[in-house]
Structure 1
Amino acid sequence: MAFEYAPAPQSRAIVDIAPSYGLFIDGEFVEGTSGELRKTISPASEEVLAEYTQAGAEDVDRAVRAARRAFPAWSALPGAERAKYLFRIARIVQERSRELAVLETLDNGKPIRETRDFDLPTVAAHFFYYAGWADKLPYAGFGPDPRPLGVAGQIIPWNFPLMMLAWKIAPALATGNTVVLKPAETTPLSALFFADVCRQAGLPRGVVNIVTGDGATGRALVEHPDINKIAFTGSTAVGKGIARAVAGTDRRLSLELGGKAANVVFDDAPIDQAVEGIVTGIFFNQGHVCCAGSRLLVQESVAEEVLESLKRRMATLRVGDPLDKNTDIGAINSAEQLARIRALADTGEAEGAERWSPACELPGSGFWFAPTLFTGVTQAHRIAREEIFGPVLSVLTFRTPAEAVEKANNTPYGLSAGVWTEKGSRILWMADRLRAGVVWANTFNRFDPSSPFGGYKESGYGREGGRHGLEAYLDV
């Protein structure tokens, strides 16, 4: 008998959203040169949350020049002094985590349980972790005197706005670089809130600059001649364009792009545990995860049992108000992304795959998509080849471990994979053969600041997190 859950809404009164935001340049908020404003809306209600500035090329130039002016003094600080600022930022993030969690949920659409219990602890952990590295760079394995690159241009996506900010800013500052960061156009608010965190921490002017806007702003940042390093997380198509723009220059580049991860379940796997991992792998953050386990490869002999258990579990998922603490699946981030998910799901049906979703009532306003499962999927189906970036799972079967590896690697992507089995030897055998940057064993979507993350093939290059994440910001 299913439990009935009473609504448990998180109050939004804790966070104060200004009606309009400027650009954060040289330690203060300033107006854009063009005066052009854009609106950011709540995906769950389509309510306008705030206006923000569309930065043009002149604004980007102002931010880069501010970062360049701040670089000599910041890079000359002893590592222990830089670490103090990072520790302060980490503590302030912890102290203001409720505000940031509510803000992120409002602007992004993901459930408050995820922003509160996953995003914000991970953000603070990354600043704490890289604060610890700041005075130990000569012992990190990159030579006795590693030097910062200079000014880092960083472009982050909308699926984990604050977490991606932390993944990029924390190692850049720890290594002595200064930063110009552009958040995604649909989720600028947490980055602008972070600007206030920087001021509260007493970070020197110009060390972190934040410019908001659409793809044109990002393009101006990538093409700016005084940028020493570009770090981008986002779609493979945009990543390829950035790589072309940087080619032939002396600018460093790291890319963390799309994925189409295989989640491989063997016949000796603990079924209930595996089902929880499958649900976490694809329905966490509405499937807006580059490393989502969007392809389930299940051994033929247990496929029917796994699917029955999975459908029962999917029927318990609660879709609705992201600020409700009971919600499992929130709103799709934008109307544009919802249209893409719908189009690819319809294509899956048209190509002959069998579609199933649990009965669930979707809200009348906002952008919503029910958790969806496709069976009868082959390697030729578009839903098995293309990144959907939504709560859509494609199920394929295999008979032998060799076939599982062949199917898992039959993708242009190579960001992550999961393996479910009771045999440690099989886990190691699979991990050695799967062409993926991260392989999870009997779990999925686990992250730690000390562990590197990144991909192969069209999933990009370079690593974020861990000691490896320092290298991207050092002249070694």
Structure 2
Amino acid sequence: MTARIDHDALFIDGGWTPPRTDGRTSVVSPLTEQEIGSFPTSTDADVDAAVSSARAALRRDDWAGLTPETRARLVRRFADELEKRAEERATTVTRQNGMPVELARFAEGAAPVQLLRYYADLAESTPLEERRASQPMPGTTIVRREPVGVVAAIAPWNFPAVLSMFKIAPALAAGCTVVLKPSPETTLDSYVLAEAAIAAELPAGVINIVTGGPDVGQYLVAHPGVDKVAFTGSTAAGRHIGRVCGELLRPATLELGGKSAALVLDDADVERTVTGLSTASLLNSGQTCYMSTRILVPRSQSRAYVDAITAMASSLPVGDPMDPATFIGPMVSAAQRDRVLSLIDQGRAEGGTITTGGGRVNGVGYFVQPTVFADVDNASTIARQEVFGPVLSVIAYDDVDDAVALANDSEYGLGGTVWTSDEERGIGVARRVETGSFGVNTFNLDWGSPFGGVKASGLGRELGPEGLAAYQQLKSIFLAS
């Protein structure tokens, strides 16, 4: 766990390719603040080579000529190889971004394997063609599903392995090819992905990996050889990608930021609700896009909830993310830590009351104390901006209509939860909140159901059959009989 991880090549066209430059990117541990590895930084020429390789693979019989059943078997073989490396990939992610290792073992180790197997099954069960009776004239139309083509997949640093696979798994199942650009903070684990692809004998060019920062991503997004962009990241970056893809008439799936609300109803059990909020609001130290970080509570019960949420947050184990007991690890970088602390300071200056936390954890590491704000106005900065750290705002409401209005008074619409002893009542509230996903007394992503946002939280959907459809284009073939 302490050995450096250094790589000298890029994964392009099915093997290790020397980069076109001597430029390198260093990776710094958020726990020790020391460099733990490095990798070559891609140039435009490297991106050109990766896209060219993906385009060539898209036309070759060893990929394009496969039946869905044969392709599914190949995807399952890829899953098997990745499963052998699940622990290595999970711990590599933890070393890079500070994710608590028990979470990483599921989200970054097991979940990518599950997704590949899910989409392999879906590829086998989804017909490529269907025949429809033509309207209004007599005849028949064949509606055919074809791969959209070369996919530029750009993944973030918070859940790098599983969010990469949100894109790679359905793309492969659909018969597309992929150029993956991971975040520079979490690129080392993508080399484990490449090793699994080699061991599974995926055809050359089906998956390619380029490295670097926003400049590399911008070049890839606008590349003439790319047919679709799939991006997870900030709303600001997503807006830029959307503008580029709009100009190019290029489809894009954009999973962006969030500022989700937890609506706590007056019949909810306080202890069970607050226990559930520890995960629904603070998973991965709050570095999760769909977290319910605005806690909306009945005004008559606000004091009890502030006390209970404060006690919960202050009791969460903070420390070494490689310790299985740790719940709150460090922020991914010094810049992210400083951003979170700046927003905490702004929340304090705008009148919010900090009931626990509010600062750094003493010693080495990019830690921020779990922080709870009371007396928060929904119009304040701390309630409007995505913090992406272990910071919660408790906001009082008058009645359910007021709670729904507060939840909807946000530019974002990615996640959210409702907490109640009456599930049907909770479902009724869920139907009224403007968001792409929502949980009743929980929030768990379902591989078989669509996930994505509305408003400033993005465009399109990942996961489920809808996630596969996002990597297919439709062709209608009209017949006279």
Quote the residue 1:85 is aligned against.
Answer: 74
- 2:464 maps to which of 443, 463, 466: 466
Conserved in 1, the CA contact under 8 Å of 2:128 and 2:145? no
What are the residue-to-residue correspondences of 1:111-190 with 2, within 5 Å? Answer: 111-138=100-127, 144-190=143-189
Structure 2 residue 202 is matched with structure 1 residue 237: no
Q: Distance in 1 between matches of 2:100 and 2:362?
A: 14
Q: Residue 209 of structure 1: SS of its match in structure 2?
A: strand
The TM-score normalised by the length of structure 2 is 0.93
Corresponding residue of 1:29: 16
Could you tell me how far apart the structure 1 residues matched to 2:129 and 2:278 are? 37
**Which runs of 5 or more structure 1 residues have no equivalent in the other structure?**
1-11
Query: Kindly tell me: are residues 28 and 431 of structure 1, through their superposed partners in 2, closer, same or farther at Cα, counting changes over 3 Å?
Result: same
Tell me, in whole angstroms, the C-alpha distance in 2 between the residues paired with 1:21 and 1:440: 44
Distance 1:438 1:344 in 2: 26
Separation of aligned partners in 2, 1:434 and 1:322: 34
Deviation at 1:108, TM superposition (A): 1.2
Rounded Cα–Cα distance in structure 1 between residues aligned with 2:43 and 2:81: 31
The structural deviation recorded for 1:18 is: 3.6
Matches within 5 A, 1:206-245: 206-245=205-244
User: C-alpha separation between the residues in 1 aligned to 2:196 and 2:30?
Assistant: 25
- With 213-222 and 428-437 compared, the bigger mean Cα shift is at 428-437
Residue 50 (structure 1) aligned with residue 37 (structure 2): yes
In the alignment, which residue of structure 2 is the partner of 1:412? 411
Amino acid at match of 1:310: I
Equivalence for 1:269:
268
Runs of 4+ in 1 over 6 A off after TM superposition: 139-143
1:202 deviates by 1.0
Q: CA deviation at 1:361?
A: 8.8
Residue pair 2:107, 2:162 contacting (<8 A) in 1 also = no
Paired with 2:129 and 2:104, the residues of 1 have a C-alpha distance of: 32
Q: CA–CA distance in 2 between the matches of 1:315 and 1:248?
A: 48
Shift of 1:47: 1.9
Deviation digits for residues 301-344 of structure 1, max 9, x if unmatched? Answer: 22222222222222321111111111111110011111110111
Matches within 5 A, 1:55-454: 55-72=42-59, 73=61, 74-138=63-127, 144-357=143-356, 362=361, 364-444=363-443, 446-454=444-452
Q: Which has the larger radius of gyration?
A: 2
Change (3 A) 1:141 1:377: farther
Please tell me the residue identity of whatever aligns with 2:462.
E
1:34 is displaced (CA, Å) by: 2.1
Higher mean alpha-carbon deviation, 156-165 vs 357-366, is at: 357-366
Shift of 1:140: 9.5
- Farther-moved stretch of structure 1 (417-426 vs 319-328): 417-426
- Give, as a single letter, the amino acid of the residue that structure 2 aligns with 1:251: R
State the AA in 2 paired with 1:162.
Answer: A
Q: CA deviation at 1:448?
A: 2.1
Aligned match of 1:9: none
The answer to whether the 8 Å contact 2:427/2:440 transfers is no
Residues 110-119 or 367-376, more deviating: 110-119
Residue pair 2:5, 2:188 contacting (<8 A) in 1 also: no
The structure-2 alpha-carbon separation of the partners of 1:272 and 1:93, relative to structure 1 and needing over 3 Å to count, comes to: farther
Q: TM-score, normalised by structure 1?
A: 0.94
- Give 2:364's aligned amino acid: S
CA distance in 1 between counterparts of 2:413 and 2:113 reads 28
Please report how far the alpha carbon of residue 134 of structure 1 lies from its aligned counterpart in structure 2 after TM superposition.
Answer: 1.6
| Aligned counterparts of 2:113 and 2:365: Cα–Cα separation in 1 | 30
Q: Distance in 2 between matches of 1:32 and 1:285?
A: 33
CA distance in 1, matches of 2:146, 2:292: 38
Cα distance in 2 between the residues matched to 1:122 and 1:306: 34
Provide the rounded CA distance (Å) in 1 between the counterparts of 2:457 and 2:52. 32
Give the letter aligned to residue 92 of structure 1. Answer: E
Cα distance, 1:216 vs structure 2? 0.6
Q: Deviations over 1:9-67 (max 9, x none)?
A: xxx27xx7542342110011222212211101111111212111111111101000000
1:457 aligns with 2:455: yes
Give 5+ residue unaligned stretches, structure 2. 132-141, 475-481
Shift of the 85–363 alpha-carbon distance from structure 1 to 2, 3 Å rule, reads: farther
User: Aligned equivalents of 2:360 and 2:435: distance in 1?
Assistant: 37
How far the C-alpha of 1:208 sits from its partner, in A, is 0.1
Instruction: Provide the secondary structure at the position in 2 that maps to 1:146.
Output: strand
Contact 1:157 1:183 (8 Å CA) reproduced: yes
SS in 2 for 1:99: helix
Return the alpha-carbon distance in structure 2 between the equivalents of residues 358 and 460 of structure 1.
31
Cα deviation code 1:398-433 (max 9, x no counterpart)? 121110110000000000110011223322221111
Cα distance in structure 1, aligned partners of 2:360 and 2:17: 44
Q: Which residue type is aligned with residue 16 of structure 2?
A: F
Q: 3-state SS of the aligned residue for 1:348?
A: helix
Aligned length: 462
When structure 1 is superposed on structure 2, of 180-189 and 111-120 the one drifting more is 111-120
Q: CA deviation at 1:219?
A: 0.5
Kindly state the Cα deviation for residue 358 of structure 1 after the two structures are TM-superposed. 5.1
- Residue 54 of structure 1 contacts residue 213 of structure 1 at CA under 8 Å; is this kept in 2? yes
Q: Percent identity?
A: 39
Change (3 A) 1:431 1:141: farther
